[in-house]
Amino acid sequence: MSIIPTHSDLIPQPNAPDYDALVDGTLQLLRHKTAEVYSVTYAQWGNWCDELGIDPLNINASTVRAFLNDQHTTMSTRRGKLTAMRKLAQMLMKAAPGEAKYKVAYDWLKELKPPEDNLSDTERPKVALSPAEANRAMECWDEASNQHKRNRALICVLLATGIRRAEAAAMQWQHIDFNEGTIYIPHGKGDKARTVAIYGNEALRALAAWQQAQGAGRAWVFCQVNKSDRLQADAPMTPPSLWRIVRETETRAGLAHFAPHDARRSLLTEMLETGSPLTDAQAQAGHANGSTTMNYMQATDARQRRRKGRIRYG
């Protein structure tokens, strides 16, 4: 059973830092791989607080312990989540130096040990969706609202390109070539640029529908949509927001497991199972390290990969 904190600290405070801004600022200071891992915890923390009506800025030993207890994970994963929350608490303390309670909360959180309740013996499985499951994920956002059009485009892009969630969040319209079916990624892992193919046609159709819904003059592909279904500022979506959409897709599509990296794994698995050269899959993923054999082989460019590549969804 969840442990729900009840102390007065749960009341949102006026003039407190914005949670999404705090998360974004924290992630920007981390190494790329660490930021990817921490963003998952921060998205889960935000969702957990929303469900319980807790201010997400009340990051302290009591609330974090309850949050960790609700996460059915291994002890290793729980330790990692606790480390991520300590970092967020530290950044909150620095963002509001005049608030003594944030320093007290951080000091207590540093002493917190990972709780041993609700532990799992195994890590969350690494999943590659079947073609039928991938199609369900692509098709589950089927309403005419802005939110559904954006979410459908996002899920289709993740499954049809295998790009990382941070790369998807930072996509700009100027980098999409609808004629060639490619997306230019200017800042991939290690700040390396590459061009990826958009496999199949479903993602292109979904992107076109979303671009039309947005209207002219927008730079960023995936922006925030409020509860009234209105588009927010022309700014990139945060990684935690993207994570929430993927997890909602898991439920809507009736999938046992679905995370952003599962979409990446699904695309690469599909490419290799349908006969794409390993070098093409490596180039699509933007992997820096390959076998010695792959270092001697030449990968085709994104336009050629799209023309000869075949996947069984989209």
DSSP letter assigned to residue 59: -
Q: E strand or H helix at 240, and its extent?
A: helix 239-252
Which of 287, 307, 308, 310 is flagged as catalytic?
A: 287
| Closest C-alpha among 22, 46, 96 to residue 247 | 46
> Which one of 136, 148, 152, 164 is the catalytic residue?
164
164 is catalytic: yes
189 is an active site residue: yes
Which position among 65, 136, 264, 306 bears the catalytic label?
A: 264
Q: Tell me, what DSSP letter sits at residue 10?
A: G
| Catalytic residue, candidates 175, 189, 218, 252 | 189
Q: Is 265 a catalytic residue?
A: no
- CA-nearest of 170, 151, 178 to 253 is 151
Residue 98's nearest CA partner among 177, 13, 175 is 13
Among 190, 170, 185, residue whose Cα is nearest residue 288: 190
For Cα atoms 80, 85, 88, give the angle at the middle one, nearest 5 degrees.
Answer: 130
Indicate the pairing of strand 176-177 with strand 182-185.
antiparallel
Q: Decide if 264 is catalytic.
A: yes
Active-site residue identified among 218, 247, 261, 303: 261
How far from 61 is each of 47, 74, 97, 231, 249, CA to CA, in Å?
A: 18, 20, 19, 36, 31
Q: Determine the Cα–Cα distance for residues 309 and 271; give it in Å rounded to an integer.
A: 7
287 is an active site residue? yes
Distance CA 56, CA 20 (A): 10
Question: Own/partner pairs for 93-101, CB < 8 Å, 24+ apart?
Answer: 95/17, 95/22, 95/25, 96/16, 96/17, 99/13, 99/16, 101/9
Hey, which residues are catalytic here? 164, 189, 261, 264, 287, 296
